[in-house]
Amino acid sequence: MGKGLRRAAWTVAALAGAVGVLFGAAWFYSEQAMQTRYVLSDPPLRGTGDAAEAARGAHLYQVLGCVDCHAAGGVGKEVFDAGPVARVVAPNLTPTALAGRYDADQLAAAIRHGVGPDGRPLRFMPSADYHELSDADTAALVRHLQSLPDSGNDPGAFELRPLGRVLFMLGQFELLPARHLDHAPRVRTSPAPGPTAEYGGYLAQTCTGCHGKDHGGQHVPGTPADFPDAANLTPHANGLAGWTEADFVRVIREGRRPDGRELHPLMPWRTYAAMTDDELRAIWRYLSALPPRERKAAKG
């Protein structure tokens, strides 16, 4: 073997070794993170058990976006398959699927903390969007889940694949939202429902997972690189500047911007179209009062 071939062979061997070390480190790092145990002690849920609570829970399941991942009836589904990164699956949430594993307070912990009944973090559960959901609304949502018709649907298993482990280690894949949440126990309340900016800020928590904590737009954490960015929702020139309340309500109801362009198919406007007029007005009044944020315009 000539010197050139030997050098090439050593280079290939060195690269293979480096890749092996990288994937080994990523496997160890991700396994350690997924085995972390969280001890939670939120106050126990206290629902009302009345018809208004049941109706509220069904409404929240729709407008908080639970239906987008867990499907109608909570039967679960594959959310997306990102090849070498991960296969993301939302599990079946019907009573027969959760029997013996989740009680009401454990469901609340999963929703608001992203933590399962064994104390380990749930994967890809967007609990940051629901972290401040009020105790009353959480009780209503849990009641709805516990009243769903039973289903034996099996959407399959979540698969964290080698590249996903590497991206997680490098901070490029938001696998375990529980790591970034405040798990201190506390009572959670909401502003009085109505078309106010204060109530709109409460409702708009569910927008932050995609649009960012300041609603200024971003690449949605954990999604493939070719997924479009989430739009800037602040009153900036590359956001909602020039929009009116009627424009905002119409875009959520019909999926069409004021200039006539349709929203990108990944924007789940049909989910939020189930919001009441007062809820949409409240969110608009909150967003329109935000300071303008200059961000990269969303794709699509």
pLDDT of residue 222: 66
Banded model confidence at residue 18, pLDDT cuts 50, 70, 90:
confident
* pLDDT for the residue numbered 36: 97
Clarify whether residues 128 and 201 are in a common domain. Answer: no
**For 33-46, how does the pLDDT look when each residue is reduced to its tens digit (9 = 90+)?**
999 999 999 999 99
**187 within a domain of the structure (yes/no):** no
Same domain assignment for residues 232 and 148:
no
Query: Does 163 lie in the same domain as 97?
Result: yes
186 within domain boundaries: no
Question: How many other CB atoms are there within 10 angstroms of residue 150's CB atom?
Answer: 13
Range of the domain at 222: 197-288
Query: Quick one: 127 and 165 in the same domain?
Result: yes
Whether residue 280 is predicted with pLDDT greater than 70 in this model: the reply is yes
For position 106, which CATH number holds? 1.10.760.10
Least Cα distance to 143 among 272, 274, 43, 55 occurs for 55
Has residue 34 been placed in a domain? no
Q: What is the mean pLDDT of residues 263-274?
A: 90
Do 63 and 172 fall within a single domain? yes
pLDDT at 10 over 80: no
In this model, does residue 181 exceed pLDDT 50?
yes
Look at residues 180, 207, 230 and tell me which one is the last residue of a structural domain.
180
* 161 shares a domain with 134: yes
- Residue 233 within any structural domain of the chain: yes
- Total domains present in the chain: 2
Q: Per the structure block, which two tokens stand in for 269?
A: 């406007």
In a domain, 297, yes or no: no
Cβ atoms of residues 191 and 279 within 8 Å:
no
Q: Which of 147, 180, 213 is the last residue of a domain?
A: 180
> What is the model's pTM?
0.89
Banded model confidence at residue 11, pLDDT cuts 50, 70, 90: low
Predicted local distance difference test score (pLDDT) of residue 220: 83
User: Does pLDDT of 81 surpass 80?
Assistant: yes
pLDDT at position 299 is 43
Q: How many CB atoms lie within 10 A of CB 236?
A: 18
Distance CA 170, CA 50 (A): 47
